Amino acid sequence: MLTWFMLNFQDSSSSVMEQLIFFHDFAMMIIIFILTLVGLNLLFICYFKFTYRFFNQEQTIETVWTIAPIFILLMIALPSLRVLYFLDDSFDSYMTMKVMGRQWYWSYEYTCVKNLSFDSYMIPIVELEKGSFRLLETDNSLVLPVNTQLRMIVSAADVIHAWTMPSLGLKVDAVPGRLNQISFMMSRCGIFYGQCSEICGANHSFMPIKLESVPMKYFISWLEKLSS
């Protein structure tokens, strides 16, 4: 999860997030190279006082200035298209989850078990246990199996929300009257935190998401215990 003075991404917990981090690093490498090249040219011009009488008629430099940006943009565009396709690709899922955004809490429904649904509210600060995270803990966590292809259907009952989990690279808009879906698979066990990422009213900041990734056998035991 995000901590104080943390400038980089959260630890990747899905293949989607790994692809996003790789593309970010690739784009930053190109940007740093361009900034370094431009900075060195500016230093050369300022300190060496070099002038060229035929600069206004130079066709070669204008050709380079035209071709180089096109080449750089293509280098960035091709990997970004691959990541975009990877984000929107839908795989065969083992199970489907329904998520409903409400002011100001989340409702979850497991389609694999009949009549299994619950609401998830933020735990008030005065009720937090020692070691808990402020504005992130919930009374009911979303529990999902690790290394399993999942599908999530997201909507809203009142205003626009956004179900977001940074460590998984997920952000799905919850729009009233519309169903949005996304496929993902968690690569490791753990507890992950997220929040609503769309301003939805007075208590928008008090709408956290807590997700627990567990092995399949523990997930089945949890379902049996909850359904009984």
Q: How far apart are CA 90 and CA 149, in angstroms?
A: 10
Q: How confident is the model at residue 211 (pLDDT cuts 50, 70, 90)?
A: very high
Q: How confident is the model at residue 206 (pLDDT cuts 50, 70, 90)?
A: very high
Residue 83's contacts (CB-CB under 8 Å, 6 or more residues apart) are 19, 20, 23
pLDDT of residue 179: 93
pLDDT tens digits, one per residue of 64-103: 888 988 999 998 998 888 888 877 777 778 888 999 999 9
Domains of the chain: 15-88 (no CATH), 95-227 (2.60.40.420)
**Which of 106, 153, 118 is closest to 227 using CA atoms?**
118
CA distances from 58 to 44, 54, 66 (A): 19, 6, 13
pTM reported for the whole predicted model:
0.80
